Amino acid sequence: MNDNKLETVRLLDKQKAPYYKIKSDSRPPGGWIASIRKSLNMTLEQLGRKLGMTAQGARDLEGREASGSITIHALREVAAAMDMKLVYGFVPDAGSFEKTVDARARALAEELIERTAHNVALEDRAHGGKEFRRKAKTLAQTLKQEMNRGLWD
């Protein structure tokens, strides 16, 4: 049952791994619309016509994309007008969805151990923290395997 949740995370990682190389700063400075339009040697008038709007309307779309205020719907329409499709998604900061779960499970495990055994943890940390780290690692593995919704509280 809980292995199934972790397996779902691993399957998601396997499916989405090609996208993990994408960096958040990969967007061209003026935005994708302007960059692609110019690369295709398409004028604002031509793009506007394909979208059923004026050149100024197309310019406004480019500006909204560059500022981050464009809608996904509008991006899809622009992509279709340029004979493309919009692809978007979430790329985990940790490098994979499983690593995201690992990090959260570790943090929660440390928090729970500190909360329930504060004095023991303080004494152990004073002696190098081996017991604290062992307990935290064991609890983190359990939390990861359970994949309980409480992991994200």
DSSP for 56-92, please give it: HHHHHHHHHHHHT---HHHHHHHHHHTT---------
Predicted structure pTM score? 0.68
- Do both 131 and 102 map to the same domain? yes
CA distances from 14 to 19, 133, 152 (A): 10, 30, 22
CA-based radius of gyration for the chain? 24
User: Residue 50 belongs to a domain with what CATH number?
Assistant: 1.10.260
Report d(CA 90, CA 19) in Å as an integer.
9
- Do both 67 and 36 map to the same domain? yes
**What is residue 1's predicted lDDT score, i.e. its pLDDT?**
43
Quote the tokens at residue 47. Answer: 């793009």
- Do both 61 and 28 map to the same domain? yes
- Do both 36 and 86 map to the same domain? yes
- Do both 55 and 80 map to the same domain? yes
- Do both 28 and 64 map to the same domain? yes
Query: How much of the chain, in percent, has pLDDT values that exceed 70?
Result: 89
Q: Which of 12-21, 122-131, 144-153 has the highest mean pLDDT?
A: 12-21
Q: How many domains does the chain have?
A: 2
Full domain range(s) for residue 60:
23-90
pLDDT digit string, tens, across residues 18-59: 888 877 667 888 999 999 999 999 999 999 999 999 999 999
- Do both 54 and 27 map to the same domain? yes
pLDDT digit string, tens, across residues 70-112: 999 999 999 999 999 998 888 898 889 999 999 999 999 888 8
